[in-house]
């Protein structure tokens, strides 16, 4: 077995980006007071993300072999058999549930909700049928934040809900900017991602609207008294860049400008959570 090939099934860059949200949420909610449950939670979250990504590769293997962006993934390239990828994903998810069982009923519920939204709602039911498919991923994207908050604070309060709402708003923006860049690929395989249905300019308009809502929500955290002036200054700078890139894409929508939004949006959400530490 080629370990590195199976590692690719987990989409490691995505997995590490999302696990970082768990870690930051944990630090914010616990004020840096770590316990054994913190490590167990990290492994549970990571294996659930890795496993769900492997299963996503299995389900989408037919379209992955057609799309230029994905045709070199392990299954379409012939490096891993589809059945083996499925079993690998199920194995990782089983590990995540076993670990979550040591953390209580709420983490188990969040884990189930996240996996259900990503694998069942998004990948199986809505991805190939609805223009609003990306919104089905909201619980999956928020799960690491919920997980970290419950372990760190032993409850999910209003602050935790608002932090997870930032991630829920960020998810469609991040995915739509990627889909806008590769809209031709999605049209080729008849996936109704927003940009491939309404066109690049209208999609960029929707991304701008999300950027504004996300920015306002992030600033609200300061006015509610959760974070201080360092957060306000950092969030303002990040929001200004995000809105600038979004406006620029609306004025002249190109693949390159959509790609800039996509590449910036990943450090953007991490930056907001980092600013919340100060």
Does one domain contain both 123 and 17?
A: yes
Are 238 and 271 spatial neighbours (Cβ–Cβ below 8 Å)?
Answer: yes
pLDDT tens, position by position, 61-118 = 999 999 988 999 999 999 999 999 999 999 999 999 999 999 989 999 999 999 999 9
The residue range of the domain holding 179 is 158-278
Q: What is the DSSP letter of 136?
A: G
> Please, which pLDDT band fits residue 171 given cuts at 50, 70 and 90?
very high
pTM for the whole structure = 0.92
Last residue of a domain, one of 156, 183, 217: 156
Region class of 225: left (phi > 0), else alpha (psi between -120 and 50), else beta: left
> Please, which pLDDT band fits residue 4 given cuts at 50, 70 and 90?
confident
User: What is the residue-averaged pLDDT of the chain?
Assistant: 93
Q: What pLDDT does residue 256 have?
A: 93
Does one domain contain both 200 and 250?
A: yes
Are 54 and 88 spatial neighbours (Cβ–Cβ below 8 Å)?
Answer: yes
Does one domain contain both 61 and 116?
A: yes
Does one domain contain both 36 and 26?
A: yes
Last residue of a domain, one of 156, 189, 215: 156
Q: What pLDDT does residue 259 have?
A: 95
Does one domain contain both 163 and 145?
A: no
pLDDT tens, position by position, 183-202 = 888 999 999 998 889 988 99
Is residue 167 scored above 80 in pLDDT?
yes
How many distinct structural domains can be found in the chain?
A: 2
Is residue 270 scored above 60 in pLDDT?
yes
pLDDT tens, position by position, 117-144 = 999 999 999 999 999 999 999 999 999 9
Q: Count other C-beta atoms under 10 Å from residue 122's C-beta.
A: 23
Q: Read off the CATH number of the domain in which 200 is found.
A: 1.20.120
Are 212 and 259 spatial neighbours (Cβ–Cβ below 8 Å)?
Answer: no
- Rounded Cα distance between 197 and 124, Å, is 19
In the chain, helix, strand, coil percent, each to 5? 80, 0, 20
Provide the percentage of residues in the chain whose pLDDT is more than 70: 100
Last residue of a domain, one of 124, 156, 188: 156
Does one domain contain both 120 and 179?
A: no
- Rounded Cα distance between 266 and 250, Å, is 20
Q: What pLDDT does residue 1 have?
A: 56
Is residue 35 scored above 90 in pLDDT?
no
Does one domain contain both 163 and 102?
A: no
């Amino acid at each position: 077995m080629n370990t590195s090939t199976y590692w690719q099934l987990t989409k490691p860059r995505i997995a590490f980006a999302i696990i970082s949200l768990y870690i930051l949420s944990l630090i914010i909610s616990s004020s840096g007071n770590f316990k054994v449950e913190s490590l167990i939670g990290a492994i549970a979250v990571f294996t659930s993300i890795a496993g769900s990504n492997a299963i996503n590769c299995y389900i989408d293997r037919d379209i992955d072999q057609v799309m230029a962006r994905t045709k070199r993934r392990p299954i379409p390239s012939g490096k891993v058999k589809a059945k083996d990828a499925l079993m690998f994903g199920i194995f990782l998810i089983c590990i995540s549930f076993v670990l979550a069982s040591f953390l209580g009923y709420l983490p188990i519920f969040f884990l189930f909700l996240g996996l259900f939204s990503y694998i069942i709602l998004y990948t199986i039911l809505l991805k190939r049928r609805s223009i609003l498919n990306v919104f089905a991923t909201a619980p999956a994207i928020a799960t690491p934040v919920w997980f970290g908050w419950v372990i760190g604070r032993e409850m999910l309060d209003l602050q935790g809900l608002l932090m997870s709402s930032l991630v829920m708003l960020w998810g469609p923006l991040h995915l739509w900017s990627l889909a806008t860049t590769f809209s031709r690929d999605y049209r080729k395989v008849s996936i109704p991602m927003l940009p491939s249905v309404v066109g690049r300019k209208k999609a960029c308009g929707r991304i701008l609207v999300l950027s504004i809502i996300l920015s306002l929500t992030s600033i609200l955290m300061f006015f509610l008294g959760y974070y201080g002036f360092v957060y306000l200054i950092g969030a303002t700078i990040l929001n200004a860049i995000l809105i600038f890139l979004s406006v620029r894409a609306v004025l002249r929508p190109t693949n390159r400008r959509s790609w800039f939004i996509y590449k910036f949006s990943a450090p953007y959400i991490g930056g907001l959570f980092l600013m919340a530490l100060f």
